[in-house]
Structure 1
């Protein structure tokens, strides 16, 4: 019960990595605020957590709505110790000429401003407690680029940049901030590209398979738990070897 007595906010927790993470943290004793724009998805996550004996409440709003997020944090008691900035939307393989402004704005509103909004919503409580754990979910496509949907790769690269800067800014308050860049994970969002697309991407990595959301949840649980207490400003890369990057 490594998170016993702590409150966690997981954005985009109505499905995929977010749902798996919310369930994993609840299993460790955390009370989880399940944020998602999809009411049915959030309700299903809350129900699954409660069925397992855990504690969870739903927050239905866009992740870019800082006011709504602050309201959810206040209703949860005002102090969130763990934040997982997971909410995201796909780029749908748009080449440069096909990117329109609305698609660009949606990606950056959700991935970048949504990450900022959620973090600002919990920051007062974390600073007062002089304790906090924040994980921004990035992507391997934000590390090495992507020949289709460059706006998606750019948004995910920005999420990593925010984590590195915040690690420096927030360390004096006992707040650790990291990012995680998964490889191909089988989720509802990635299935939107088609089963063949997921299988083809899985063939690019060294272990020749996709990951399940629960595998990513375990890495997030490590980062926000006691065993991750000496890590901040880092990018964790559970990607099956696609890509291998160094310094």
Structure 2
């Protein structure tokens, strides 16, 4: 596939899960991929897999909250055409009494500030080119809440709000911004809660299973690909029917 030939993509949190699958998917479509993550071993593995498949990838090992390092990566790549704001950390099922300031700040630093910082880093070149595609990875918990980890639900709601506002703000520059709110996905992060918890959450949706990261990556690729050019400010919900919201 060559739908992304000649384009450069940055995927944050690309060392595992949805980010990893998305980096591999965009690279397989011909994109040069900046593989961003804090874990050097995971970044090295993803870059090596892309190179092994004759793709093009560059490592970017630092926190997504580090705006200066993000800008350095973008400048080194001579601009980014596609940004996937995926980096995130779990809430570890904390009820409100257990959410201390440090846990709150870590979630918002990575999910919210990291999304803003990465977007600001790529924006000058996108505006100059009059072209850009940005996808923020939200969550079904941003839509309906969650009885545990309310700070996680709030952070994911914030990145959804960013997508809607930025779609309006960036439209005059040819930049399209959308969000994806997956349901339960089988990743290293969700498996931290244990297989039983994963099975219980999967049982809540209509198709009675979890998604694999590659399924979400395919939706992301569609949104930023040639067929996604008439969509901006929208939320795509590959969630197995958990929840069904809207009109």
- Indicate the TM-score class for this superposition, using the shorter chain for normalisation: over 0.9
Residue 50 (structure 1) aligns with: 51
Distance in structure 1 (CA, Å) of the matches to 2:191 and 2:45: 19
Q: What SS is found at the alignment partner of 1:87?
A: coil
TM-score, scaled relative to structure 2: 0.99
- The superposition leaves residues 73-106 of structure 1 with CA deviations (integer Å, 9 ceiling, x where unpaired) of 11112x1000000000000000011100000000
Q: How many residues align?
A: 246
Distance in structure 1 (CA, Å) of the matches to 2:121 and 2:17: 23
Query: Structure 1 segments of 4 or more deviating over 6 A?
Result: none
Q: What SS is found at the alignment partner of 1:176?
A: strand
Q: Which residues in structure 2 correspond to 1:81-230 (within 5 Å)?
A: 81-230=81-230
Residue 203 (structure 1) shift: 0.2
- The superposition leaves residues 191-238 of structure 1 with CA deviations (integer Å, 9 ceiling, x where unpaired) of 111111001000000000000000000000000001100000000000
Q: What SS is found at the alignment partner of 2:245?
A: coil
Residue 11 (structure 2) aligns with: 10
Residue 244 (structure 2) aligns with: 244
TM-score, scaled relative to structure 1: 0.99
Distance in structure 1 (CA, Å) of the matches to 2:198 and 2:182: 14
Residue 63 (structure 1) aligns with: 64
Residue 22 (structure 2) aligns with: 21
Structure 2's unaligned 5+ residue stretches are: none
Distance in structure 1 (CA, Å) of the matches to 2:96 and 2:225: 40
Distance in structure 2 (CA, Å) of the matches to 1:65 and 1:195: 33
Distance in structure 2 (CA, Å) of the matches to 1:104 and 1:17: 23
Structure 1's unaligned 5+ residue stretches are: none
- The superposition leaves residues 106-155 of structure 1 with CA deviations (integer Å, 9 ceiling, x where unpaired) of 00000000000000010000000000000000000010000000000000
Q: What SS is found at the alignment partner of 2:10?
A: strand
Q: What SS is found at the alignment partner of 2:177?
A: strand
RMSD of aligned C-alpha atoms? 0.5
